[in-house]
Amino acid sequence: MSKIMHAGRSLLELLLLIALGLVPVISGLLVMVFQLEAKLAENAKISVQEAVYSVDQALNRLHETALQALPFTGRPCDNVIGTLLNQVASRSLVRSLTLIQGNQAYCSTTSDSLAELSSFAASGRQVELAYDSGAEASELLVNFYLGSNDNGVIVTAYAMQLRNELDGFQDGFTLLLEFGERYIWSHGDSRDRQPPSQSEFPENALSAKYGYQVKGGYGHGYTAREARQSMLQILPSLMLVGIVTGSIVYLTLFRARANRRGTAATHA
């Protein structure tokens, strides 16, 4: 009977040692997951705000270009087309300039459809994504409208400028710019079959200046992959802490048992 009790006590001590050794491992992993989720959530909030700021700066440059061309509106096209062409040539990301009078496009540095540009001028929108109607129909463009009374200017730029702003966020976070029903992200746009996954820690922000929306989020499974990677990095250290904890407890139990035996021998 005493052997069974001794074996049972030894088994309980072993289970206690294993449990106490696992405490720092489990608690460390839980803290790691909590910190990772907090970090991703915070990064999501900051990233969408920073994206709005960056894209606003890019659109500000188009606004400045439009301001320089605005004084030429209302003038005959033949008198100003040379100056407009020079302005386009001096800005690598600007594709064309178009003059508007009474919501009608009448002078452009390219052969794009004036009817489509007139429709945009009359829409009341300041910025839109557009598709190239020329030979390179796959090119995505940005139309920026600046008006004054009945006159106005449309600056057409390559959407690459917006993608360059999004490329600055290379930490696994996916940002999408939404202009009405059309949108763009660093590797595609609204002509693709479906937008990128942004299911984890989704955030969005609205540009108060230009009215577009930034949507951000991590793709499906991103958090789990990051957690596994972090786990592999810290698990050896946590296991070492668990072993040390178990060893300390074992030595404490061993000394307590030795003391009880010494006390029993003394009384005997």
Q: CATH number of the domain at 70-159, please?
A: 3.30.450
Instruction: Provide the residue count of the chain.
Output: 268
pTM of structure: 0.77
Task: Name the residue ranges covered by the structural domains of the chain.
Answer: 37-59+162-218, 70-159
Domain 37-59+162-218 shares a fold with domain 70-159: yes
User: ∠ at Cα 255 (252, 258), nearest 5°?
Assistant: 150
Give the CA count within 13 Å in the CB-facing half-sphere of 39.
12
Query: Which has the higher per-residue pLDDT, 139 or 40?
Result: 40
**Is residue 158 within 8 Å of 134, Cβ to Cβ?**
no
Q: Which CATH number fits domain 37-59+162-218: 3.30.300, 3.30.450, 3.40.50, 1.25.40?
A: 3.30.450
- Is it the case that residue 171 has pLDDT exceeding 80? no
pLDDT tens, residue by residue, 2-15: 555 555 555 665 56
- Give the CA-trace dihedral at 42, 46, 49, 52, to 10 degrees: -120
pLDDT tens, residue by residue, 57-66: 999 999 999 9
